[in-house]
Amino acid sequence: MDTINFKETHKKVEEVLNECKNVIVNAERKRLIGDAVSNSECLVAKSGTLATWTDPDSTGRSPKDTVIVKRPESQIYIDWNSPNNLPVTDKVFDEVFEDAMDMMSKHNRIYVNDRVIGADSEYALPVKVITSQALTSVFVDNMFRSVPEDLHKSCFSDKPFFLIALPFNKLDQSKYEWKLRKLPNGKSTDKIVVMDFDRRIGIVIGTAYLGSVKKLMFTVMNYYLPFENVLPLHCSANEGADGKTALILGLSGTGKTTLSADPRRALLGDDEHGWSETSVANFENGCYAKMININPEKEPEIYRAVLHPDYYLNHGAIVENAMIYPNGEFDFNDERLTPNSRASYPLSFLDNIKESSVGGHPSTILFLTADATGVLPPVSRLDRNQAMLWFLMGYTSKLAGTETGVVEPQSTFSRFFGAPFMPSLPKIYAKMLGDKMEEHNTCVYLINTGWSGGKYGVGKRIDLNYTRAMVEAALNGDLKNVEYEYNTLFHVNVPRTCPGVPSEMLIPENTWASKEEYRKTAENLAKQFSDHFDNAYGRNDISPEIKKNCPGK
């Protein structure tokens, strides 16, 4: 994996930095915030929050412009069958790199942040973030971790990663027109998010969306860590008073944020974690929360962290692409700019956290799915092969009305509950999950936070109080010794009883008025699972033991 001499590339970057006019290295937070405001990169809201807006075409990640350099040294580990792993040649990367160096040299100011990704010093990845924007440096200060004193313990201590972020520069479209993505107007894209795992460098040009920086580094970690026997996970993690750690995985709309923010459990982190041979550890120093329709009563911790009414002005929380009024107040219910308004803030802005962001091996893992067809059981227990299957599928539903033309709930599959950020071969992540849950006797449960008694529009969404009761029963062990019924269509084990939940609703067929309609709907969903498995994994080496647990198989 390390046959290419990445140090030569890093040396070139350092040489250009030495020639830049004004390089600000590891500036204090107060200085970075002041520069971001004085440089007109953001406004200060009434609450002291930094408010910023991107171009209309950069209000989210740009997956079609996110690419990986395909080199002989690493290409055998990457799943090029995945539509999320878009390759570019080393020649294209070299051209982008030279352009980035030229762009850097022309900026009046360059900011450098030395940070690490990973709370566990055994595999903390040193990252040098080089950017033309002070606000990007504030974001990095929010999201990435300070360099620990014992970094020498890390397997990456002598293999740092460089990230160059030039949000408002643009690629020369004519120069790249035969090599990068074509736009509807016939020109080539002027932005790129590129990762070179071998040269250990990433470059962001042309997009100011702050999530591009965060997710690039997440993808990098997800590639490197399996080589160190660390399973990277797109999940939240918290710890109970008994010291037991739980992981919660789920796509947008499944309730991951709501269910992980439990006042009785200390939060390790809300989004990115690694499960090593010794612990579970957060990758990040902060949170990057969706703000659209945030409810201060249901999510008070997030709301307070972002708006910080009791803190000094300019505290460094960043709100991105939310509506703001002349009085300096946000309207988080207005999605005319984008439904993807976001907020970045350090974990320390939350009250109930575990400061180390490191916990023991998880005793429980929860997979969340919001099934809008209403046919999945509200709670199921998964054995090793079942868990690996549902981990591979990453299922939830896209609801009617969320996008133009969506009139019926649509099945959505995102492997490992974070497909765009998991570049390696799927069998690698799946096997690691199975091995680790078996080694540490970890219980895995599938929690359906979606519909019961019928599909969306007919049945009702499962009451949050019932969902919380199921989560509590899973976490405290109440579901370990109850009687189970095997669901032959979806290949899951369904409890006959669960404290705090009516037994009749645990078997979804019981809640439907028409058993025939239930059967048709369930079989249709199972077929969608089967078809997706064949399309996604037909060319991958997925074991028959996992495959036979796929619904419809």
Query: Which range is least confidently modeled, 178-187, 224-233, 382-391?
Result: 178-187
3-class DSSP assignment, residue 250: strand
Catalytic residue among 257, 338, 341, 442: 257
Quick one: pLDDT at residue 541? 79
Quick one: pLDDT at residue 119? 98
371 is catalytic: no
Catalytic residue among 115, 234, 265, 273: 234
Q: pLDDT band for 3, please (50, 70, 90 cuts).
A: low
- Answer yes or no: is pLDDT of 409 > 80: no
What domains, with CATH codes, occur in the chain?
Answer: 6-39+66-229 (3.40.449.10), 361-547 (3.90.228.20)
Segment 89-102, tens digit of pLDDT = 999 999 999 999 99
- Answer yes or no: is pLDDT of 402 > 50: no
3-class DSSP assignment, residue 161: strand
Quick one: pLDDT at residue 398? 79
The CA distance from 497 to 476, in Å, is 15
Catalytic residue among 252, 258, 497, 530: 252
3-state secondary structure 260-312: HCCCCCEEEECCEEEECCCCEEECCCEEEEECCCCCCCCCHHHHHHHHCCCCC
What residues have CB less than 8 Å from 530, skipping those under 6 apart? 550, 551, 552, 553
Name residue 195's beta-bridge partners: 68, 202
Closest of 532, 259, 517 to residue 373, by C-alpha: 517
Q: Are 95 and 176 a contacting pair, CB within 8 Å?
A: yes
- Answer yes or no: is pLDDT of 310 > 70: no
Catalytic residue among 65, 141, 196, 271: 271
215 is catalytic: yes
- Answer yes or no: is pLDDT of 515 > 90: yes
- Answer yes or no: is pLDDT of 403 > 70: no
- Answer yes or no: is pLDDT of 497 > 80: yes
Q: Are 81 and 539 a contacting pair, CB within 8 Å?
A: yes
256 is catalytic: yes
Catalytic residue among 214, 215, 415, 436: 215
Question: What is the average per-residue pLDDT within 58-81?
Answer: 94
The CA distance from 528 to 509, in Å, is 19
527 is catalytic: no
Name residue 250's beta-bridge partners: 368
Q: pLDDT band for 312, please (50, 70, 90 cuts).
A: low
Question: What is the average per-residue pLDDT within 264-281?
Answer: 96
Signed CA dihedral, 211, 72, 431, 435: sign only: negative
Catalytic residue among 71, 256, 308, 455: 256
The CA distance from 91 to 548, in Å, is 43
Q: pLDDT band for 252, please (50, 70, 90 cuts).
A: confident
- Answer yes or no: is pLDDT of 141 > 50: yes
Question: What is the average per-residue pLDDT within 62-72?
Answer: 94
Q: Return the DSSP state at 201.
A: E
The CA distance from 441 to 94, in Å, is 47
Question: What is the average per-residue pLDDT within 119-139?
Answer: 98
Quick one: pLDDT at residue 401? 43
257 is catalytic: yes
Kindly state the percentage of the chain with pLDDT values over 70: 96
Catalytic residue among 107, 342, 354, 436: 342
> How many C-beta atoms lie closer than 10 Å to residue 1's C-beta?
12
Question: What is the average per-residue pLDDT within 100-121?
Answer: 97
Segment 17-30, tens digit of pLDDT = 999 989 999 999 99
Q: pLDDT band for 407, please (50, 70, 90 cuts).
A: low
Q: How many CA atoms lie within 13 A of 504 on its CB side?
A: 4
Quick one: pLDDT at residue 404? 44
C-alpha angle 398-181-534 in degrees, rounded to nearest 5: 45
- Answer yes or no: is pLDDT of 400 > 70: no
Average per-residue pLDDT for the chain? 93
Q: Is 441 left (phi over 0), alpha (psi -120 to 50) or beta?
A: left
Quick one: pLDDT at residue 348? 92
Catalytic residue among 61, 70, 308, 415: 61
Question: What is the average per-residue pLDDT within 223-237?
Answer: 97
342 is catalytic: yes
Kindly state the percentage of the chain with pLDDT values over 90: 84
Q: Are 362 and 280 a contacting pair, CB within 8 Å?
A: yes
Instruction: Write out the H or E segment, with its range, that includes residue 366.
Output: strand 362-369
- Hey, what amino acid is at 16? V
Closest of 163, 152, 256, 244 to residue 205, by C-alpha: 163
Quote the tokens at residue 53. Answer: 């807006």
Q: Which residue has the higher pLDDT, 314 or 170?
A: 170
Q: Which residue has the higher pLDDT, 221 or 309?
A: 221
Segment 451-463, tens digit of pLDDT = 999 999 999 999 9
Query: Which range is least confidently modeled, 47-51, 228-232, 540-544?
Result: 540-544
Closest of 187, 191, 284 to residue 234, by C-alpha: 284
Quick one: pLDDT at residue 449? 96
- Answer yes or no: is pLDDT of 258 > 90: no
> How many C-beta atoms lie closer than 10 Å to residue 417's C-beta?
25
Segment 318-342, tens digit of pLDDT = 999 999 999 999 999 999 999 899 9
